[in-house]
Chain A
Amino acid sequence: MKINIIYYAMLREAAGQSAETVETESAHAAELFESLKSKHDFSMCRSQVRLAVNDAFVDWDTPLNDGDSVVFIPPVAGG
């Protein structure tokens, strides 16, 4: 299935892009994140990142469906 991924903050920097579409068989978002973590060499681990699927925050064990938009949001604190 195809998943649209949007990156923010440090993850956007690490991925070198704001968004990408990936072909994946990952059953849920946690698995997808782990594969992207090794692909892009993210220094942040899953517990530091919040996940949103189709513009709603969800848990990491949420199953994915073809065409989902997945957003990874690291905490930010600048002002």
Chain B
Amino acid sequence: MMFAIRSEPLNAEQLKSEAEDPACGALVTFEGWVRNHNEGHDVTSLEYEAYSALAVAEGERILAEAKEKFGLEKAVCVHRVGHLQIGDIAVWVGVSTPHRDAAFKANRYIIDEIKVRVPIWKKEHYVAGDSGWVDCEQCAKHGHQPKMDYARQTVLKEIGPLGQRKLAESRVLVVGAGGLGCPVLTYLAGAGVGRIGIVEHDHLEASNLHRQFLYAPENLGEKKAALAAEWLKRYNPAIEIETHPARFQTLEVEQIQDYDIIVECVDCMETKLLVNRVALKAGVPVVFASIYQFEGQVQVVDSESSCLECLYEGGAPTDVPSCAVAGVLGAVPGVIGSIQALEAIKQLLGLDGRLSNELLIVNLVDYSTRRIALPRNDACPAHAASAPLPASVDVTIDEIDLSRFQVIDIREPDEVAAEPLPCEHVHIPMNTLLGNPRRVEKDGTYLLVCAAGVRTRYAANAFRAAGYDNVYSLVGGNRMLPPS
């Protein structure tokens, strides 16, 4: 695969030899020539100018896409820059594939994408002696819609074209579109994160506006998720915005796993703790932040690291003042939310200095920051709850966390009467259960209990055979359960 920008004339024969492949039955070449007129003007010559670094990166990306799409063996594309005369080759594309159909399609794909996506501009010189920059094909294709240029950030060695591409392929779920959420959403959209999900159930209130700059007074009472999405789509039309105008707890684990990272921006401890649990279970990292007056705390949690409950040592407090009670100045969530957006980008790109197993505390009274080491607490209940379930049907009482299971006593009524189970459970005798398997739901986790673990193994295996991998048999039977 080769994409190049050249200032000297293109030699079609030489390029063709570079695109040939002895293993291929088809070679399709395309030559784009400078013609002597455009839109009613007689053209004498023209100039092409490219933003080279970006053009080459984007061109190579297009060739890689074509290779994957059409099974190319070889692809060569070269674009001229500088002053060209009538009849000069402006762009040359050649592809080799085993079969002709794919070769035609791939060549067409490459030239169409190059015209739209690669930053190359054309200036025409006319017979009349004047000249003019011609609207790039990109503008034509997009109905003259200008779009965002990431040049100022791709010039950073930490980002570059590769990092930019990674961002475009990234998916971030932002929970809460308030004081923290506004800067988070804005900077992620501006950075070119390809897909952003917004979870926000609230409607806009007047007291939000002083710190939530995605909204305006004319929108009071409207759904914030839709308002934020509308603005972000205008701000960066190239990215995808999804809205979940509901509370976080209504999202399915699969919906959450659709994202690479969560940025948590909610003003409520219960929700933070819930996001912590769900994200650990889903295996999706989270950038948490909270503020109190002129202070902010930022923490990154993933399945390997310490978590929010490690921080609070299980005794997670819930009577914590919100902004409504404690007061807040808009610039404070502005700073802390910006840190969250930056941290999310660092995490996505694996950049240096990202947070791990620590709490960042930012004090905006004296502008001091502190990074406090927070090792993972092995006794933390959040990690225990997210540990994978055993694969085997038989489980011993010592290897499981009983609180994660719904217990079903499958013994006969006389056995139950003689030795009732000491824990919360439902009683469904084995034959009733096997005759009525819908008593078990696919997304629950069940522990079957009998007297010795023999009947439960049989029943659990029957469920497994029917596609339920969430039904377990307690080894040793009912006497293994600890007395309450």
Contacts and interface: CB of A to CB of B under 8 A. Distances in A.
Interface of A: 6, 8-10, 12-13, 18, 47-48, 50, 52, 55-57, 71, 73-79
Contacts of B313: 50
A79 to B, nearest CB: 4
Given A77-B272, A79-B290, A57 B372 contact: yes
A78 B268 CA distance: 7
Contacts of A55: 370-373
Contact of B372 (A48, A56, A75): A56
A52 B375 CA distance: 12
A50 B311 contact: yes
Contacts of A56: 372-375
Contacts of B180: 79
Interface string B302-314: 0000000001110
Contacts, number: 90
A18 B372 contact: no
Contacts of A13: 293
Nearest to B315: A47
Contacts of B269: 75, 77
B257 interface: no
9 smallest CB-CB distances across A and B, nearest first, come from: A76-B292, A79-B267, A56-B373, A77-B269, A77-B320, A9-B292, A78-B291, A78-B323, A76-B290
A31 B439 CA distance: 55
A68 to B, nearest CB: 14
A33 to B, nearest CB: 15
B292 A10 contact: yes
B447 to A, nearest CB: 33
Given A57-B372, A76-B297, A18 B363 contact: yes
A74 B312 CA distance: 9
A79 B361 contact: no
Q: Which of A13, A52, A79 has the most CB of B within 10 A?
A: A79
B267 A78 contact: yes
Interface in B31-77: none
B295 A76 contact: yes
Contact of A71 (B266, B290, B320, B372): B372
B331 to A, nearest CB: 14
A12 B293 CA distance: 11
A49 to B, nearest CB: 9
Contacts of B363: 8, 18
19 contacts: A6-B370, A55-B372, A71-B370, A73-B359, A73-B361, A74-B292, A75-B312, A75-B320, A77-B320, A77-B322, A78-B267, A78-B292, A79-B178, A79-B179, A79-B180, A79-B181, A79-B267, A79-B289, A79-B291
